[in-house]
Amino acid sequence: LEAVAWLTRTEAAAVLAGTHESIKAPPKIAIARTLLQAWVDGFDV
């Protein structure tokens, strides 16, 4: 891991939308992206 941060769902949604000021989303093919999207969508992961 290069960097780790705790995010709220709102912040994570901004990451996925590409509007977060300092964090970029993982590529769409990455499992990390799928897990992040599921959590933002309200699933407990």
Domain boundaries, the chain: 9-40
Burial 7-31 (b: 16+ CB within 10 A, else e): eeeeebbbbbeeeeeeeebeeeeee
Q: Is the pLDDT of residue 1 over 80?
A: no
The percentage of the chain sitting over the pLDDT mark of 70, rounded to a whole number, equals: 100
pLDDT in tens, 19-32: 999 999 999 999 99
Contact indicator for 16, 25 with CB cutoff of 8 Å = yes
- State the average pLDDT for the chain: 95
Q: Looking at 9-13, 18-22, 41-45, which range is the least confident one?
A: 41-45
Say if CB 32 and CB 5 are below 8 A apart: no
Contact 27, 33 (CB under 8 A): yes
Q: What is the DSSP letter of 41?
A: T
